Every structure is written in C-alpha cells, then in structure tokens.
Amino acid sequence: MNTNNKLQAVLFDVDGTLADTEQDGHRLAFNAAFQQFGLDWNWDIELYGELLQVTGGKERIRFYMEQYAPAMLNKSDLTVWIASLHKTKTSYFEALMEAGNIPLRPGVARLMQELRQEKIKIAIATTTTMENVTALLKSTLGEESIGWFDVIGAGDIVPLKKPAPDIYQWVLNQLNLAAHQCIAIEDSENGLKSALAAKLPTLITVSGYTRSQNFSGAITVLSDLGEPSQPFEEIKGTHSEKKWVDYKFLNDLISQ
C-alpha cells in the first residue's frame, strides 16, 4: 500500500462507467429474454432510458410490469418467475459480452493498470450480477483481470441497490478502509447518490443515458477518463492542466 499518499483505493461502478453496456448490452439482453419467454414486450431506446431510474434488472422488470402489464403482477409465482426471466437475460448478456461488441470506455484500462502499478487497491461496486461483471472483464481485459480487484461487490449481496449506500458500504468494509481514503467513479445520479450516502468522494464520467442528470455533490464531472491522446471534456471542472485521469489526478482530487 502506498502510505505517502492519501488515496488508498478506487471503487469503480460498472454499467456506464467501465463500458457503455446499457443501450446495446443489457437492453438487448432483456428484449431477447422477453422473446424467449413469449412476451410481446420490447424495451426501445427511449423507454429503456426511463426504466433506468430503477436500478437492478429484477427490480426494473417489476417496475415495468407495474406500469405496462399490471395484470401479470397477480401471478402466484411472480418473484420466482421474474428471477427466472432475469436469469435468462443474464445468459444473453454474457453471450453479448463474449462476442466482444462492447469496448471499455476511454482511459479505463490505462487507469486500472496504473493503479495496480502504484499498489492502489481497485474494487467494484455494482448493481449488476457477478456473472455480468465477470463476462465484461473477461472479454475486455482478459480472464486474469478478475484477480486484479481486491473486492468485487455485485448484485444481490446487499439488501438494497443503488441509490442506497449498501453496496459501497459493503465494499468499504471488505477493503477495511475509510471513505475519505477512497474515491468512487460513477456515471449516474443513482450511483452518485449511493456513493455520497456512503460518504465517498465521487468523480463522474457521464454516459449515453446519464449526461443530463443531476450530479451535484460530485467532486468533478467529466466526459470520460480521457487518454493522453484523447483528452476528456470538463463538464464540472477541476481546471486541471492534465486532461486525462491518472493516479495523481485522483490523489490530488481527494486531497484538496
């Protein structure tokens, strides 16, 4: 561990932050599962943007049913049925990741590699399932990359999903670190609320669906993590001269 510096760990969100997985990943997987179950539901790009206000796939399916298919809520085995529909959706998502169609966002791989070199811990705090995290990491960074993470907090291991703080608190407990020694990287308002409720300083990189959300409370809001050859755009700036996020950038952010 690097004791000369304040930053001890970086906690990454997954969907929208590591990769733009929602529109052409999760959404397509949900629709494929609906088809397999003989449902005439189709989540188009716009509708899916509205449904994203609810985090968690099972929770999102139930929310959709409340709005668009309330009669089906009377199913006697509703919870089991939603879980099985969601399991099918997860299989389709894994297959989409294996096909390798969704790349990591700018700067993600570079920053993770640098943090590992600097002996800064890296962790994941996500609402999605462990299967999905594994499939994304494998297809983008290789099989061994799962082992790079000191902690992976995913899916149903906590009772309440984002915007509740549970998943970030769980990861902090596992890391045995205080929130002020860490930084969270998120892409959504629900994710920001969750991280802030766990008292984590939070950097936002906006994604397709989240650009116009409310990010008050974030330390800084950027287009992406940037690369030396592909600078980020500052949305709520730090006025840093450097236009890509690296270890020093993050350490300076939480030391201000």
**CA-based torsion, 130, 106, 205, 172: positive or negative:** positive
Axis crossing angle, helix 130-141 with helix 78-98, rounded to the nearest 10: 0
Q: Binding to ligand XBP (CB under 6 A): which residues in 45-64?
A: 55-57
3-state secondary structure of 15: strand
Q: Binding to Mg ion (CB under 5 A): which residues in 176-215?
A: 187-188, 191
Residue 163 lies near Mg ion (rule: CB under 5 A): no
Cα distance between residue 7 and residue 121, in whole Å: 9
- Candidates 11-19, 67-75, 101-109, 115-123; binding stretch for ligand XBP (CB under 6 A): 11-19
Residue 121 lies near ligand XBP (rule: CB under 6 A): no
Candidate residues 8, 10, 12, 16; the one interacting with ligand XBP per rule CB under 6 A? 16
Candidate residues 8, 9, 13, 166; the one interacting with ligand XBP per rule CB under 6 A? 13
Q: CA 36, 37, 43 angle in degrees (round to 5)?
A: 80
Residue 94 lies near ligand XBP (rule: CB under 6 A): no
Number of residues that bind Mg ion (CB under 5 A): 6
Candidate residues 191, 192, 209, 221; the one interacting with ligand XBP per rule CB under 6 A? 191
User: Binding partner of residue 226 among ligand XBP, Mg ion, none, CB under 5 to 8 Å per kind?
Assistant: none
Residue 205 lies near ligand XBP (rule: CB under 6 A): no
User: Binding partner of residue 224 among Mg ion, ligand XBP, none, CB under 5 to 8 Å per kind?
Assistant: none
Cα distance between residue 202 and residue 2, in whole Å: 20
Residue 165 lies near ligand XBP (rule: CB under 6 A): no
Residue 153 lies near ligand XBP (rule: CB under 6 A): no
Cα distance between residue 137 and residue 153, in whole Å: 14
Are 64 and 51 in contact, with CB atoms under 8 Å apart?
Answer: yes
Q: Which residue has the tokens 């902090």?
A: 172
Residue 166 lies near ligand XBP (rule: CB under 6 A): no
8-state DSSP, 227: B
Cα-Cα end-to-end distance for the chain: 21
- Candidates 12-20, 58-66, 215-223, 226-234; binding stretch for Mg ion (CB under 5 A): 12-20
CB-count burial class (<10 Å; 0-12, 13-18, 19+) for 44: exposed
Asked whether the bond before 159 is cis by omega within 30 degrees of 0, the reply is no
Candidate residues 8, 31, 88, 132; the one interacting with ligand XBP per rule CB under 6 A? 132
Which H or E run contains 51?
helix 45-51
Q: Is 15 noted as a catalytic residue in this protein?
A: yes
Binding site for Mg ion (CB under 5 A): 13, 15-16, 187-188, 191
Residues with a catalytic annotation lie at: 13, 15
